[in-house]
């Protein structure tokens, strides 16, 4: 993903990619997202981080740059240590090369770095990224192997030492289909994801929104059940179909109100952010204009979502009728 795009030169109909990253993580409940080829430098990173304070961005600089904390191989591999429940886990993200010799060397170098006595990272819990090769034969689109696929031995040596495995393939040994998220604008890859679970953790509910909605819907369902049990004779104006329609219309209206209130709060925050940015006299005017443009693109997205949601609610009412 090219994250270095100058917003003053970009297509006015194309959304800022970092806004898409923000929305993708929020809408799909993604806690950790690994992206490659951002082509972003420290200056642009500071700008994006300031405008997206809820996202913590860790950057692995270009391969020729000086290594920084957490970088296993500059521009290629980065380790993030994050809090998870009552402990911390180490997540290794890698952007593999597309050449056999350099790919094999990369995996070997990572293994050497992680196993040296003074390595600050003690073990890897999650390995993810764009490996730039296909590990298992079953996943090949055709029977022909690429040269870079021959680096699999070096990769597997790393995985065996770290004790990590392809969890999806392990649970789906013969599967040939999987699900991906739609690609961000201007990228040539799709997103795949997995959930990390602590099996010793207590059960967790679906969240406050669904809990509140279920709490509101349960009495309606019970009322409908009681109504159906009391029907003695079905008539044109007194039947289960009409009662079910009325209940669906009530639920659709409640969902619309709840989602609408959340969307309105987002719009209020974005409009406030736009006003504060416009009134900032300490920032360069060109930079203010660029920041305002990004915020306005986010506002447009929220308004479009509200319009689609309004259309869905109208369709639900029509279907219920």
Q: What is the 3-state secondary structure (H, E, C) of the chain?
A: CCCCCCCCCCCCCCCCHHHHHHHHHHHCCCCCCCCCCCCCCHHHHHHHHHHCCCCCCCCCCCCCCCCCCCEEECCCEEEEEEEECCEEEEEEEEECCCCHHHHHHHHHHHHHHHHCCCCCCCCCCEEEEECCCCCCHHHCCCCCCCHHHHHHHHHHHHHHHHCCCCHHHHHCCCCCCCCCECCCCCCCCCECCCCCCCCCCCCCCCCHHHHHHHHHHHHHHHHHHHHHHHCCCCCCCCCHHHHHHHHHHHHHHHHHHHHHHHHHHHHHHHHHHHHHHHCCCCCCHHHHHHHHHHHHHHHHHHHHHHHHHHHHHHHHHHHHC
Burial 93-118 (b: 16+ CB within 10 A, else e): bbbbbeebeebbebbebbbebbeeee
Angle CA(37)–CA(132)–CA(154) in degrees, nearest 5? Answer: 125
| pLDDT for residue 236 | 80
pLDDT in tens, the chain (321 residues): 555 544 444 444 445 677 778 777 877 778 888 888 777 777 888 888 887 777 888 877 655 444 444 567 778 888 988 888 788 899 999 988 888 788 889 999 999 999 998 888 888 999 988 888 877 776 666 656 666 777 888 899 999 999 998 888 888 887 777 766 655 655 667 777 788 877 777 666 555 445 556 666 778 778 888 877 776 677 787 787 888 888 778 777 776 676 666 677 778 888 888 888 888 888 888 888 888 888 888 788 778 777 776 665 555 554 545
Burial 252-290 (b: 16+ CB within 10 A, else e): beebbeebeeeeeebbeebeebbeebeeeeeeeeeebeb
Closest CA to 154 of 94, 114, 205, 100: 100
Chain centroid, CA 204 distance in Å:
20
85 C-beta neighbours (distance < 10 Å), count: 10
Whether pTM exceeds 0.75: no
Residue 290, token pair as written in the block: 């660029």
| pLDDT for residue 227 | 78
Beta bridge partner(s), residue 95? 130
Q: How many CA atoms lie less than 13 Å away from 290 in the CB half-sphere?
A: 17
Angle CA(67)–CA(87)–CA(58) in degrees, nearest 5? Answer: 30
| pLDDT for residue 6 | 45
297 C-beta neighbours (distance < 10 Å), count: 18
First-residue to last-residue Cα distance in the chain: 45
């Amino acid at each position: 993903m090219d994250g270095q795009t100058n917003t003053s030169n970009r297509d006015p109909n194309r959304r800022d990619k970092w806004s898409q990253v923000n929305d993708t993580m929020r809408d799909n409940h993604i806690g950790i997202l690994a992206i490659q080829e951002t082509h972003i430098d420290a200056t642009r990173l500071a700008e994006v981080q300031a405008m997206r304070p809820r996202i913590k961005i860790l950057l692995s600089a270009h391969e020729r740059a000086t290594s920084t904390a957490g970088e296993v191989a500059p521009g290629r591999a980065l380790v993030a240590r994050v809090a998870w429940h009552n402990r911390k886990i180490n997540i290794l993200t890698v952007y593999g090369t597309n050449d056999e010799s350099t790919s094999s060397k990369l995996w070997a170098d990572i293994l050497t770095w992680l196993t040296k006595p003074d390595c600050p990272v003690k073990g890897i819990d999650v390995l993810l990224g764009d490996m730039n090769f296909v590990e298992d034969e079953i996943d090949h689109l055709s029977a022909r192997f690429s040269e870079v696929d021959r680096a699999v031995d070096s990769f597997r040596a790393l995985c065996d030492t770290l004790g990590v495995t392809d969890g999806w393939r392990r649970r789906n040994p013969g599967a040939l289909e999987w699900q991906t998220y739609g690609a961000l604008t201007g990228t040539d890859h799709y997103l795949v994801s997995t959930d990390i679970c602590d099996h010793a953790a207590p059960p967790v509910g679906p969240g406050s929104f669904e809990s509140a909605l279920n709490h509101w819907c349960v009495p309606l369902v019970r009322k409908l059940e009681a109504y159906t049990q009391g029907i003695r004779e079905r008539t044109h104006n007194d039947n289960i179909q009409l009662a079910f329609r009325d209940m669906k219309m009530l639920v659709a209206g409640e969902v619309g109100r709840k989602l609408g209130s959340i969307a309105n709060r987002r719009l209020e925050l974005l409009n406030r952010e736009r006003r504060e940015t416009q009134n900032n006299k300490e920032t360069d005017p060109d930079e203010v204009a660029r920041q305002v443009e990004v915020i306005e693109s986010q506002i447009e997205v929220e308004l479009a979502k509200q319009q689609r949601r309004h259309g869905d609610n109208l369709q639900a009412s029509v279907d219920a009728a």
